[in-house]
Structure 1
Amino acid sequence: MTFVITPKKKMASRGYLFMLLLLVLLVSATSSTTPLSPNFYNQSCPNALTTIKRVVEAAVQNETRMGASLLRLHFHDCFVNGCDGSLLLDATDTIDSEKNAFPNLNSARGFEVIDEIKKEVDKACRGPVVSCADILAVAARDSVVALGGPTWEVNLGRRDSTNASRDDANNNLPAPFFDLAQLINSFKNQGLNLTDLVLLSAAHTIGFARCVTFRNRIYNDSNINPLFSAQLQFTVCPRSGGDDNLAGLDSTPANFDVSYYLNLIQKKGLLHSDQALFNGNGSTDALVTQYALNPRAFYKDFASSMIKMGNINPLTGNQGQIRTNCRKVN
C-alpha cells in the first residue's frame, strides 16, 4: 500500500516538527539555566551539608585563621567570572591558574581543607555529586558561623568551570590599595551596590593580613591613628623585610563582630581599602556608622549580601561539570 502525503498533511507534519523543535529548545534552555536552590542536594545527597560543616568546624578549631581563609576563597572565586570553582584549579599547560594571580599568590590559602571536604562529601554521597563551587559557598557560610557570625541558607546547584583566568583575577579582584571610587567600580562590575560593598568588606572582621599589603598605609597614609600605625611599625611591619608578618584585620580577628566598623571610625583600618570606607565625609560613612551601632542589622544584611554575591554568574544545568578533584578538570 502506498501512502501519499497531501499538502494538508505536509503542513501538519511541519507544524508538528516545529512544535517538537520548540519544545527541545525550551527544555535545553531550562536545563542550562537551572535556578539555584537551598534544597538542591536534599534527594541526591542529604548528608552533604552536615559533612561540609563537620570538616569546616574541625579545621577552624585546629586553626582559627582558617575560617577567614575559607571565606576569602569564596570571595575570590565569585569575583572572577562568577562562582564556578575556577580559583581551585591548579596550573597546567592549558590552565593559567588564578592561584598565581597577584591577589592570590602566597596569600590565598585553605585549599587542603577544600580537598578534605571534597573527599568526605564524595564519600557521604557515594560519588562526585556536590560541586567544588558549592563546597566553597557552604564552607564560607560555615566558617562565619564557627567564628560567631550569622547563618543563612546557601543557594546550591552550581557546577564547576573547566577553565580559569589569571588575567581576570588580576583585573577583577579589589586590591588592598584601592580607594573608594575603585572599590565602588569593582563591586559594581559584579552587580553589587554600595551597601554590598560596605557589608562584604566587613569579612575583614576576621583573619589577618601580611605586612606587604599594609606597609604603605602605616608609613604613608594620613587618615590613620598615629598610635595604631606606630605600634604596627614597631611590632609587625618594618620599612623593609618581614613581608609575611601578620597583623589582625581588626582588633578581634578570631571573632565575627562589628569591631571592623568600630576600628574604621577610629581610623584603625588595617588596609588602605578598608579605611577608604570611612573618611569623615565619604558616601559610605553613614553605613559604616549604622552597622557599627547595630550588630543585629549587620548580621542580617551581611547574610543577604553573601547570598547575592553567591549568585554571581553560576554555571548550572548542563554547563560546566562536577569535578572529582577540585584542583583538576575531569
Structure 2
Amino acid sequence: MAAVPPSSLPHSAVALIVLTLAFAALVCESKLSVDYYAKSCPRFNDIMQQTITNKQITSSTTAAGTLRLFFHDCFLDGCDGSVLLSSTPFNSAERDAEINLSLPGDAFDVIVRAKTALELECPNTVSCADILAVATRDLLIMLGGPHYTVYLGRKDSRISKSSLAESDLPRPTLPMSRIIDMFAKRGFTIQEMVALSGAHTVGLSHCKEFSFNLKNDTQYNPRFAQALQQACAGYPQNPTLSVFNDIMTPSKFDNLYFQNLPKGLGVLESDHGLYSDPRTIPFVELYAKDQNKFFQDFAIAMQKLSFYGIKTGRGGEIRRRCDAVN
C-alpha cells in the first residue's frame, strides 16, 4: 500500500501526527511510561480510583481544588510535587506563599489519603508527583471532563521555596501580555494557554482576588457585578469568602466558561482579559462554539503540562510522606 503524502492529509491529521511524534519523543526522553507501576505496584490504579472516588463523594470541591493544585505545582519548576512540601524552621515552602494560601485543603487531603494507602500496599514505590498527576486526571473525568493519558515515573522534588511561587505563578490581576509571556516561557502557545484557562469552568475564586475591581472594570455585566458585590460584602472580615468561577454549571466541566465571557460573566480580571485581547479572543470564541474542540485541546495541553519540568532518576526521590523530604 502506497504511503499517503503529507500534503494530501487534512491539516487536523497532520497536526495529530506531529503531536503524536512529539509526545513519543518526550516520553522516550523522560523515561516515563503508562504501565510504570504494573509490576512494582499492581493495584496502583485501583487504589487511586477508590481513594479519589470516596473523597469526591464526601467533598464535592475536591476535583476543582486538585486541578488547581496540580497547575500550581507544575507551573512552578515542573510537576514534581514540590507544592505538597510543608515549611520547616529553615525554609518557607511553596504552599505558604501568599498566592498559594488559598489552595484548598481537600486537594492536599486526597493526595495524603492516596499516598497513605499506596505506602501500605507498596512502600517507597509511588511518587507524590505521580499521585497528583493521576488524581487530577481522574477527578477531572468525574466532573465530565476529557480523558487523557498520564505517563508515570516522575520523582519528587527535594526543594520547595515560597519566594519562587510569589514571582513565577500567574496572578489574575496581571495584564494578559504578561500572562502570555509566562506561558510562552514554559513552551506553551497562546491557544494552549486559553485552553488551560478553561479550567475556570469549575471551582471557586476568593473575593479578595477581584472585589477591588468590581466598580472599575466595565467588562462586568452590571447585574453580575452587583451580585458579586453583595456576595463578597463581608470579605474584609472573612477572607475565605468565594464565588463560583462559572455561575451556570459550577460543578460540571464544560465550555460554559467561554460562553460566559462575552456576556460579561467572567469573575477575574484575567477572565476579562481573554475576551479583550485580540490574540486570545479567537480561541475564546472557538471554544465557546465547540465544546469537543475545547476538550480536545485542553486534554492535549494538560498532557503537555504533566511533562513540564519533571524529575527522573537521581533528579528526585520517592518521598515516604508527601509533605516532607526523606
TM-score, with structure 2 as normaliser: 0.87
Q: Which residue of 2 aligns with 1:244?
A: 240
Q: Which residue of 2 aligns with 1:256?
A: 253
1: CA distance, partners of 2:233 / 2:194: 27
1:197 and 2:193 correspond: yes
On the 8 A contact 1:131/1:160 being kept in 2, the answer is: yes
**CA 54–277 in structure 1, closer or farther in 2 if over 3 Å, else same:** same
SS in 2 for 1:220: coil
Amino acid at match of 2:260: N
1: CA distance, partners of 2:235 / 2:49: 41
Structure 2, unaligned runs of 5 or more: 1-28
1:100 and 2:93 correspond: no
1: CA distance, partners of 2:57 / 2:152: 26
Q: Which residue of 2 aligns with 1:21?
A: none
SS in 2 for 1:224: coil
Among 46, 59, 68, the residue aligned to 1:50 = 46
The alignment of Structure 1 onto Structure 2 pairs a total of residues equal to 296
Give runs of aligned pairs for residues 170-319 of structure 1, distance below 5 A: 170-237=166-233, 240-251=236-247, 252-279=249-276, 282-319=278-315
Deviations 1:113-162 (A, max 9, x none): 211010112223x2121100111111110111111111111011100011
Structure 1, unaligned runs of 5 or more: 1-32
1: CA distance, partners of 2:155 / 2:251: 31
- Give how far 1:240 is off: 4.4
Amino acid at match of 1:211: C
1: CA distance, partners of 2:128 / 2:275: 36
1: CA distance, partners of 2:38 / 2:203: 32
Of structures 1 and 2, the larger Rg is shown by 1
Q: Which residue of 2 aligns with 1:28?
A: none
- Alpha-carbon RMSD: 1.5
1: CA distance, partners of 2:210 / 2:171: 11
Runs (4 or more) in structure 1 with deviation over 4 Å come to: none
SS in 2 for 1:70: helix
- Give how far 1:238 is off: 5.2
On the 8 A contact 1:224/1:267 being kept in 2, the answer is: yes
SS in 2 for 1:103: helix
TM-score, with structure 1 as normaliser: 0.86
1:115 and 2:112 correspond: yes
1: CA distance, partners of 2:209 / 2:150: 31
Q: Which residue of 1 aligns with 2:21?
A: none
